[in-house]
Amino acid sequence: MTTVGVLRETAGRERRVAMTPDGVVRLRRTGVRVLVEAGAGRSAWFDDPAYVEAGADVGSREQVYAESDILVVVRPPDDIAALPAGRTLIGLLDPLGDPGLAETLAAQGVTAISLDLLPRTLSRAQPLDALTSQANVAGYKAALLAAEAYGGFFPMLVTAAGTSRPAQVLVLGAGVAGLQAIATARRLGAQVTGYDVREAAQADIASTGALVLALSDAVQNGSDGYASALTGDEAASQLHSLAQAVPRFDVVITTAKVPGGRSPLLVSAEALDAMRPGSVVLDLGGGNVAGSAPDTRVVTGHGVTVIGAPNLASTVPVAASTAYARNVVAALGALDDDELVSAMTVRPLHDLDKERR
Amino acid sequence: MTTVGVLRETAGRERRVAMTPDGVVRLRRTGVRVLVEAGAGRSAWFDDPAYVEAGADVGSREQVYAESDILVVVRPPDDIAALPAGRTLIGLLDPLGDPGLAETLAAQGVTAISLDLLPRTLSRAQPLDALTSQANVAGYKAALLAAEAYGGFFPMLVTAAGTSRPAQVLVLGAGVAGLQAIATARRLGAQVTGYDVREAAQADIASTGALVLALSDAVQNGSDGYASALTGDEAASQLHSLAQAVPRFDVVITTAKVPGGRSPLLVSAEALDAMRPGSVVLDLGGGNVAGSAPDTRVVTGHGVTVIGAPNLASTVPVAASTAYARNVVAALGALDDDELVSAMTVRPLHDLDKERR
């Protein structure tokens, strides 16, 4: 019988877990054994007895490594050298961000399947799409955090003491995270405007009921669901146009990422300086805002709060783990789908070069 | 010309200011001079130039004390002994919570008008009702903070990876704060239930679209818009009934205050122990939840997060100060309304005893 091992996450501040008790129930129905490292779900409020009740075994980390055919994680474990040869590792391994990882895993004889390599345009791939499920959680939390940090109301409220105007919120980047941030800020009653460099995403923004910020710059028509990096001139022009637009907003949420590349700068120091004191800028993309740092909240001399929040999904661990576990269950069910598995398999660069020849 | 002085708040963690630049414009139209202590609005993102632009003078604290006929504050200043005789102090002075304050002010020859003594049932008093305006802000923030602390989604979200159920939120106490917490949690998509010991408030809950939690205990029909303290037996019975109901909720927000008295205990240690790991309990009333402490977040051994948050209005300083300043402007315009002023004037207890004879 195949054993699926669930490792406790080792990355700092990581609160998610790759498998939930609900997910264990689904896996057990497919005839596999599930072995969960003790305490793996604790930060996401899933305790060991809940896994046992769902039909899993609970054991030490060593036991999970020794007895599992397939190991599931959210992020790469920091003791990756302990992975025995012949095992399969499934997770959001970010091989584009860390090319060395592929070499290490290959040298150990470990097969690594990274869900962030999923071809997102295939409809049968959707249930496996962990980037989407986690971006959805992050976008939701981004709107909550921005509302929490802002000193005014998001909604228009009418009271005996007068009426408050709704907050003006701008969301830059309308992928999954941006669209969920738009939806959540709108739920809270803010007046929301969205912006994206991709033409198709502008239609997505409009379909949520938000306003669309139109800049005079070139738009992209990428086919893979991602924005590609702009040329230097395009980026400079966009940055300048955004600096004109940003200061009239109370709250700006940035969600622009480029896969395997640096997140683009969207809000310059000049733009921050032109914003009103009390404004809030939340950088979900990581690197979208001048002076932002991960997991840090700074207030500029001018009174603008800049929040760096590149890993927000982890801070809503129940929702994020529940969605992620569903993606993992779907991935385990698709291991006989050669096209998907081949696309997601992590290969060292020199192997990729060979294939291209 | 009458000078209205605006003092910087001295209480710890207090970010509000009693007068905003908008309020200054309104006051100037009534022919008064406004003198603002330097930096008074900084924590609420109102800088000194904004006050000057609105028509105020800005000066040192000593200058504000020396030149003002009327001093406006949110909370009692910690250098109250510096108040010169003959001045009038207007604020949320909480004389019921601090009876010594009345003695001190009377001994100094200061007339103190406390907005929390306003007779709330008079309709012409509504524009002055700072307890209401601040409770409204606190209730809004309570729902945001609870959503932020909770590990799951508040809304039901349908995605390719499955559907999330909405969070089950219970709001205890349906005064202004409770009703705004209900409205905000509902905006976010949670399934909300409200409870109040007062029969009229139960109708208010139903009118928001939330469910009403019915306990078999006695209901109250108070006429002053407040709940009164229950008898010992009533309180014990309520606590027991709530302990049965609370564990099926993911998030509980408590907002029960008794004016001039201790906030009642609503969520016992027994109830906390019966809640699921990952549940969140936010104590806005202060003392409504076993083991809660002000401005503190603790996680019980069982995995329930308890947040003590008795002064949330201060954490949304723009919205709270804007509403409060409107109340203060209304109060300054009502200083010839003998009934209101008499009700709000702080008197030492021995004077009150004389009046009652």
Q: Which amino acid is at B345?
A: T
**In B47-196, where do the E strands start and end?**
57-59, 70-72, 88-91, 111-114, 158-159, 162-163, 168-172, 191-195
Mean pLDDT of all residues in A292-302: 95
CB contact under 8 A, B316 and A145: no
Cα→Cα distances A254→A32, A77, A140, A166, A208, Å: 41, 29, 13, 20, 17
Q: From the candidates A48, A92, A157, A314, which should be mutated to test the interface with B, based on the most B CB atoms within 10 A?
A: A157
- Name every chain A residue with its beta carbon within 8 A of the beta carbon of B187: 155, 187-189
Give the whole-angstrom CA distance, residue A262 versus residue A265: 9
pLDDT at B259: 73
The pLDDT > 70 percentage for chain A reads 94
- Name every chain B residue with its beta carbon within 8 A of the beta carbon of A317: 151
Give the whole-angstrom CA distance, residue A95 versus residue A48: 31
Give the whole-angstrom CA distance, residue A13 versus residue A311: 9
- Which of B15, B152, B189 has its CB closest to that of A319? B152
Sign (positive/negative) of CA torsion A276, A282, A288, A291? positive
pLDDT at B262: 85
Q: Whose CA is closest to A15, among B151, B297, B99?
A: B151
The answer to whether residue B277 scores a pLDDT higher than 70 is yes
Q: Whose CA is closest to A75, among A48, A103, A97?
A: A97
Token code pair at residue B232? 């010992």
Residue A357's pLDDT band, with cuts at 50, 70 and 90, is: very low
CB contact under 8 A, A140 and B160: no
CA distance A20 to chain B (A): 13
- Name every chain B residue with its beta carbon within 8 A of the beta carbon of A326: 161-162
Q: From the candidates B42, B163, B187, B276, which should be mutated to test the interface with A, based on the most A CB atoms within 10 A?
A: B187
Residue-wise pLDDT tens digits, B60-118: 999 999 999 999 999 999 998 889 999 999 999 999 888 889 899 999 999 999 999 99
The pLDDT > 70 percentage for chain B reads 94
Sign (positive/negative) of CA torsion A319, A322, A326, A329? positive
Residue B357's pLDDT band, with cuts at 50, 70 and 90, is: very low
Give the whole-angstrom CA distance, residue B305 versus residue B292: 10
CB contact under 8 A, B148 and A144: yes
Residue A120's pLDDT band, with cuts at 50, 70 and 90, is: confident
- Name every chain B residue with its beta carbon within 8 A of the beta carbon of A319: 151-153, 164
Shortest CA distance from A131: residue in chain B:
B161
Which range has the worst mean pLDDT, A322-331, B260-269, B329-338?
B260-269
- Report DSSP state, residue A277: T
The pLDDT > 90 percentage for chain B reads 80
Contacts (Cβ under 8 Å, ≥6 apart) of B45 = A151, A276, A277, A278, A303, B317, B318
Which range has the worst mean pLDDT, A165-179, B93-107, B144-158, B205-219?
B205-219
CB contact under 8 A, B188 and A187: yes
Token code pair at residue B160? 């390719």
Mean pLDDT of all residues in A293-311: 95
Shortest CA distance from B133: residue in chain A:
A161
Residue B357 exposed, middle or buried by CB count within 10 Å (0-12, 13-18, 19+): exposed
DSSP B220-254: B--SSSSPPPPPHHHHHHHHHHHHHHGGG-SEEEE
The answer to whether residue A227 scores a pLDDT higher than 90 is no
Residue-wise pLDDT tens digits, A308-320: 999 999 999 999 9
- Name every chain B residue with its beta carbon within 8 A of the beta carbon of A276: 45
- Name every chain B residue with its beta carbon within 8 A of the beta carbon of A323: 159, 161-162, 164
| B172 phi-psi bin (left φ>0, alpha ψ -120 to 50, beta other) | beta
Cβ pairs A/B, distance under 8 A: 126
Q: Whose CA is closest to B87, among B106, B72, B68, B115?
A: B68
What is the average pLDDT value for chain A, to the nearest integer? 92
- Which of A45, A161, A318 has its CB closest to that of B133? A161
pLDDT at B150: 98
CB contact at 8 A, B100 and B40: no
Q: Which residues are paired to B282 by β-bridges?
A: B253, B307
Shortest CA distance from A313: residue in chain B:
B151
Mean pLDDT of all residues in A222-244: 78
CA distance A122 to chain B (A): 13
CB contact under 8 A, B316 and A152: yes
More confident residue, A68 or A352: A68
The pLDDT > 90 percentage for chain A reads 81
Mean pLDDT of all residues in A123-130: 95
CB contact under 8 A, B161 and A133: yes
Residue-wise pLDDT tens digits, B155-206: 999 887 789 999 999 999 999 999 999 999 999 999 999 999 988 999 999 9
Mean pLDDT of all residues in B129-142: 97
Residue B351's pLDDT band, with cuts at 50, 70 and 90, is: low
Shortest CA distance from A155: residue in chain B:
B184
CB contact at 8 A, A7 and A74: no
CB contact under 8 A, B140 and A162: no
CB contact under 8 A, B159 and A136: yes
Q: Whose CA is closest to A305, among A272, A286, A280?
A: A280
- Which of B46, B133, B144 has its CB closest to that of A159? B133
**In B304-354, where do the E strands start and end?**
305-308
More confident residue, A160 or A247: A247
Structural domains of chain A ordered from first start: 3-117+317-347 (3.40.50.720), 139-314 (3.40.50.720)
CB contact under 8 A, A148 and B148: yes
Q: From the candidates A165, A188, A297, which should be mutated to test the interface with B, based on the most B CB atoms within 10 A?
A: A188
Sign (positive/negative) of CA torsion A122, A123, A125, A131? positive
- Name every chain B residue with its beta carbon within 8 A of the beta carbon of A150: 316, 318
Which value does ipTM take for this structure? Answer: 0.93
Mean pLDDT of all residues in A165-172: 97
- At B91, is the secondary structure helix, strand, or coil? strand
Mean pLDDT of all residues in B247-263: 90
CB contact at 8 A, A224 and A253: no
Q: From the candidates A51, A144, A299, A305, which should be mutated to test the interface with B, based on the most B CB atoms within 10 A?
A: A144
The answer to whether residue A218 scores a pLDDT higher than 60 is no
Mean pLDDT of all residues in A292-307: 96
Residue B258's pLDDT band, with cuts at 50, 70 and 90, is: confident
Q: Which amino acid is at A252?
A: V
Cα→Cα distances B30→A70, A198, B322, Å: 76, 53, 18
